[in-house]
């Protein structure tokens, strides 16, 4: 029996979303920030090496800079990594300044974009009181 849902899924563009917080601090040579394997990097490397995708855009939205993901694709012509994160003195991991940019192809570079002046206040129900931060 052929599934109509299967046919619809095959027509969708190849998009993957990891809502479970990828382990973006792990690096090739070391664990970091409670991350010992960078699942996002490994998944992208597999997709690219198998020819499943030609180009990848990683949008990392987290309070911490995705330093492991940036390091993995810093020289890549196939992967663009953008990290939205808080950048403050002595804040882990201490990387991700707005002057950092990848050394790869001009249209594909790691480009950290620190969030400045965003303040969120979490209320008792777990929601945000600041529209800018939610």
Residues with a catalytic annotation lie at 25
Q: Which pair of tokens denotes residue 114?
A: 């620190």
From CA 63, how far away is CA 123, in angstroms rounded? 18
Residues sharing a CB contact under 8 Å with residue 96, sequence separation 6 or more, in sequence order = 65, 66, 67, 70, 83, 85, 87, 112, 114
């Amino acid at each position: 029996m052929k599934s109509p849902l299967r046919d619809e899924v095959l027509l969708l563009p190849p998009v993957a979303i990891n809502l479970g917080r990828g382990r973006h601090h792990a690096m090739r040579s070391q664990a970091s920030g409670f991350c010992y394997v960078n699942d996002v990097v490994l998944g992208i490397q597999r997709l690219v090496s198998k020819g499943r995708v030609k180009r990848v855009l990683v949008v990392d939205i987290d309070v911490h800079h995705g330093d492991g993901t940036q390091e993995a694709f810093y020289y890549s012509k196939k992967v663009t990594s953008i990290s939205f994160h808080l950048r403050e003195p002595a804040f882990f991991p201490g990387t991700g300044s707005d002057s950092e940019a990848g050394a790869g192809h001009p249209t594909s570079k790691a480009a950290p974009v620190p969030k400045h002046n965003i303040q969120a206040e979490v209320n008792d129900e777990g929601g945000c009181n600041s529209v800018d931060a939610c």
